[in-house]
Structure 1
């Protein structure tokens, strides 16, 4: 399947035109980059193409600069899910992030990144509810599993991600789903696709899917709640294990 192009914007600290050229040089090494636009005054970089947002962040960070995703896709076409462990003995609960962008009437791309897990194959599934009070155990069955006909793929099954010996895994998927259908549901990432989950397993993650900003919708530089800049918030997120 050919994935349509989409736009993502990132906040990036830049001081001069040389910074822009450095970033552009790194981004052009990626497959799927069609257009790069940088605004030095606003400290924003906009990319059009089909490259995964996580790969774009890695490319920008390889230049020695940080990058914060500020928006993806059009209005009401993006979502995010912070994936956490519910195991009581895990100190750093946040272990993954799923970014989702609807790029066509019935096509959503999923950029899933996880870290800190044991090596192996993990299954990512959307669940019927957003109740994660008891971790994955209360999230319900796989979304629309009862509708899937024999021999056809269930829309609630996103796919698998391979976690390396270093505990890191990333995957870029596409699913025949609209963003609005998933808002408020949850995602489970676990070694098993379905069945009885163990919330005390540190390698089982769960999170609620929430609407995310579209391109140019998130223009804040200071959080109205905390008074912190986006970079101060970023430092807090990195400390919590956010990707």
Structure 2
């Protein structure tokens, strides 16, 4: 998997009250290297960024302006049946999120953040099944389409290196990976670099919103606003 960044459109909802907020948001984002274009829709409180930076860096920058911000979309849904997906690790020991976004027909972007890991290198992979009844152990083999010819399976994501604080991050891209084919499968994380153990944790890959698909600010099922949600 490549660590090279690729251009991608990402959409955030930002709690902007006035035109001064718009200016502050634009000015902050413009200080970041790897930002190609910024669009602000004040009426919908939406900021669209085309760039190569990880989501976390852009979210941190937006929040440094003193405004709350949430990721609401990534990738172009007009070009792909499924443009983005997410796998969330919800503990009790390991927490994290993996985001996948289709850049073009031959390339997908992969971003990940984890906490609760032991320091050192950990193997991780996209596995065949989304069966979490036994954690990573029941998710099957590493995902590999029949027409993919390579020494390593397509779902082999390599290794993550956790620091002394137990945190690990990754941002890069994977050739030939199609996000639409990953829905319902899983991402598994292992204690060892070669994935020879039963696995530490796993999470199911689910579809997430593309750009322009999620302007909802209030959940009708429980009345929770986007700013109150975790």
Tell me the TM-score normalised to structure 2 length. 0.87
The partner residue of 2:216 within 202, 220, 243 is: 220
The partner residue of 1:19 within 16, 21, 25 is: 21
Range that drifts further, 57-66 or 169-178? 57-66
Match for residue 179 of structure 2? 179
How far has the Cα of 1:3 moved from its partner?
5.3
Q: Which runs of 4+ in 1 moved over 4 A?
A: 1-4, 145-150
Alignment size in residue pairs: 222
CA distance in 2, matches of 1:79, 1:153: 23
**Structure 2: gaps spanning 5 or more residues:** none
Give runs of aligned pairs for residues 1-243 of structure 1, distance below 5 A. 4-75=6-77, 76-85=82-91, 90=92, 95-144=95-144, 152-176=151-175, 177-192=177-192, 193-197=194-198, 204-233=200-229, 237=230
Match for residue 201 of structure 1? none
How far has the Cα of 1:97 moved from its partner?
0.2
Q: What SS class does the counterpart of residue 219 from structure 1 fall into?
A: coil
Q: Is the 8 A contact 2:11 2:73 kept in 1?
A: yes
CA distance in 2, matches of 1:196, 1:190: 7
CA deviation vs aligned residue, 1:184-207 (integer Å, no higher than 9, x gap) = 100012232423315xxxxx2210
Q: Residues 139, 154 of structure 1: CA spacing in aligned structure 2 closer, same or farther, 3 A cutoff? A: same
CA distance in 2, matches of 1:24, 1:45: 9
Q: Is the 8 A contact 1:82 1:94 kept in 2?
A: no
How far has the Cα of 1:154 moved from its partner?
2.3
Q: Residues 121, 25 of structure 1: CA spacing in aligned structure 2 closer, same or farther, 3 A cutoff? A: farther
RMSD: 2.2
Q: Residues 146, 96 of structure 1: CA spacing in aligned structure 2 closer, same or farther, 3 A cutoff? A: same
CA distance in 2, matches of 1:84, 1:232: 18
Q: Is the 8 A contact 1:109 1:175 kept in 2?
A: yes
Match for residue 241 of structure 1? none
Q: What SS class does the counterpart of residue 21 from structure 2 fall into?
A: helix
How far has the Cα of 1:47 moved from its partner?
0.3
Q: What SS class does the counterpart of residue 231 from structure 1 fall into?
A: coil
**Structure 1: gaps spanning 5 or more residues:** 199-203, 238-243
